[in-house]
Amino acid sequence: MTAKERFLAAFSGVMPDQIPMTIWNNKLPGGDLNDQLLSLGVCVINKSTVWQRTLDGVEIEFNDKKLEDGTTSRNIKYITPAGKLTATERLLPNTVWIEKYLFSGPDDYEKLEALISCRNYAPDYEHFQTDDAALGSQSIARPTTIHSPMHELIYEFMGIENFSFEWAENKHLLLHLCEVLKEDWRKRLALTTESPAKYAIIEGNTQLQVIGEERFQKYYFPNIEEACETLHAKGIYAGAHLDGDNKKLAPLIAKTSLDFIESFTPPPDCDLSVADARQIWKGKSLLIHFPSSVHLFGVDAIESHVKEILKQATPGDRIAIGTSEDLPNRGLDTMEHLYRSIKKYGKLPIEL
């Protein structure tokens, strides 16, 4: 089997010849090490997109300032038909941190609604197919994540503190904005459904201590189910990116129609073991991120932990293991040994 075929087998439940090994393209260490990983049979997941978004009728202004620590602070001004919105971002290597959200107070609801209404999307399937075929049988493209409207409102527009105050004081305005976002969400879902993607992430980074069980069931669960039904009708697997503590969230996720959990991170980094996840999420696949902290303890610890994960994943169906989060020193000293260990002990069915 090819690397891509093994990876897709993890979704379907078909037992491949060995555990699928994966790495996100933005986690590749570079240089000769990339070639070594490919020679071991690793499948590169290219983070891609199936659409291009424009903001019609909105003027955008950027003002960048170089800081003493070498990072960049970027002030962004959106001039919408209903008024001006501003945000501040910190540009860091491989990521962006929001320092000031677009929403500053109740006066911004109308402006945010105008901004969202100005979003337009066009399919970009050719770009996606290029990413999918970039490394032939050793790459697969991953579409942009689609979050539930409430999640997007919290983490893109408001922030947790603003959301909490508005939930208490202006809940009706907040929920109206969620409905506006849902129409935007459906546009992205439709383009993903009609795309050549084999799988899609339709939820992610859900923290139950922020959302709470009641809000999850009322405002997240229906969107997850709608997205799953829509994608399944086109033969596309639907998953969630859950790379944190999942023990309390797991029973709620078990009730969804999700096919897989992406970037699932077992102990010692997070609180839900592979064995428990397999028990709670029967029939769902696990795309496992090998815990980043284990890389700090050397090659013997890596090999031992690989064997423990595989033991808990026995017999090895519906499992892939790899790297989808940041590693100490980018894994330059340890990544090759990780994948050699997975290949050495990951013949299927597992017999350790």
Low-confidence ranges of the chain (pLDDT < 70): 352
- What pLDDT is recorded for position 102? 97
- What is the SS3 string spanning 155-182? HHHHCHHHHHHHHHHCHHHHHHHHHHHH
The whole-number pLDDT of residue 352 equals: 66
DSSP string of 90-124, one letter each residue? EEETTEEEEEE-S--SGGGHHHHHHHHHTEEEEE-
Quote the pLDDT of residue 95: 82
H, E, C per residue of 282-309: CCCEEEEECCHHHHHHCHHHHHHHHHHH
Classified as helix, coil or strand, 84 is: strand
Q: Using the structure block, give the residue that is written with the tokens 């990072």.
A: 71
Per-residue pLDDT, 70 = 87
What CA–CA distance (Å, rounded) separates 44 from 240? 19
pTM for the whole thing?
A: 0.95
Amino acid occupying residue 113: E
Task: Report the interhelical angle of 160-169 vs 171-193 (nearest 10°).
Answer: 120
How confident is the model at residue 93, as a pLDDT?
80
Rounded to a whole number of angstroms, the CA Rg of the chain reads: 21
Give me the pLDDT at residue 94, please: 74
Cα–Cα distance for residue pair 245/340, rounded to 1 Å: 28
State the CB neighbour count (10 A cutoff) for residue 328: 14
Q: Which two tokens stand for residue 151?
A: 């999640």
**DSSP 3-state assignment of 327?**
coil
Domain edges within the chain: 3-53+120-345, 57-117
d(CA 246, CA 256): 15
For domain 3-53+120-345, the CATH class is: alpha beta
In sequence order, the β-bridge partners of residue 141 are 46
**Beta carbons within 8 Å of 119's beta carbon, 6+ residues apart:** 53, 54, 55, 184, 187
pLDDT tens per residue, range 243-296: 999 999 999 999 999 999 999 999 999 999 999 999 999 999 999 999 999 999
